[in-house]
Amino acid sequence: MVVRFRVGQGFDVHALVPGRKLLLAGVELGGGLGLLGHSDADVLAHAAIDALLGASALGDIGAMFPDTDERYRGADSMQLLSLALQRVRAQGWQLANIDCTIIAQRPRIAPFVEAIRRSLSGTLALEPSAVSIKAKTTESLGFTGRGEGIAALVIVVLQAE
């Protein structure tokens, strides 16, 4: 049986802390708090990497870019996403679309949705119409609802080249 497409899902979460930049798909949101992590902690880019690697059965972000490796300290996660996409393409897969959900009580994501879409479409070489960005709150419930962190869920569809 020839597999013509694959679906992958990714998830990531990072804590919000003072003194860091808040980046989502490379777009700086500002607001005084940023995401804590070994790299730039771009939670959306990290979830997208996991979705790509999962769909192509290439492991996960921790295997490809371990946080024990100093080369990735402060790394630009959009560059890491580009490297992950190159690895997926080398396996004979083409990205068809990406569907992203950002879960955050604050800051408001809606004003940045189009910039995030443009950033992802450029990095992933997709038409903007193949990039979906949704922002959700948790109605003040849980760590995201208390403003302690941001989570991201991403689903991708790959098609055989």
- pLDDT tens for residues 89-132? 999 999 999 999 999 998 999 999 999 999 999 999 999 999 99
Q: Is the pLDDT of residue 134 over 80?
A: yes
Give the separation between CA 53 and CA 64, rounded to whole angstroms: 9
Position 67 scores a pLDDT of 86
Any residues with CB less than 8 A from the CB of 79 and at least 6 apart, and which?
Answer: none
Q: What is the mean pLDDT of residues 125-153?
A: 95
Position 30 scores a pLDDT of 87
DSSP character at residue 76: -
Model-wide pTM > 0.85 = yes
Q: Top-level CATH class of 5-160?
A: alpha beta
Digit-coded pLDDT (tens) for 22-58: 999 999 998 889 999 999 999 999 999 999 999 999 9
Give the separation between CA 33 and CA 49, rounded to whole angstroms: 23
Q: Is the pLDDT of residue 2 over 80?
A: no
Q: Is the pLDDT of residue 3 over 80?
A: no
Packing angle of the helix pair 77-90, 113-124 (nearest 10 deg): 40
Q: What is the mean pLDDT of residues 2-14?
A: 93
Q: What is the mean pLDDT of residues 135-152?
A: 94
The residue to which tokens 């402060």 are assigned: 74
Position 148 scores a pLDDT of 95
Structure tokens at 12: 């990531």
Return the amino acid letter for 87: R
Domain ranges of the chain: 5-160
Q: Is the pLDDT of residue 12 over 80?
A: yes
Position 66 scores a pLDDT of 87
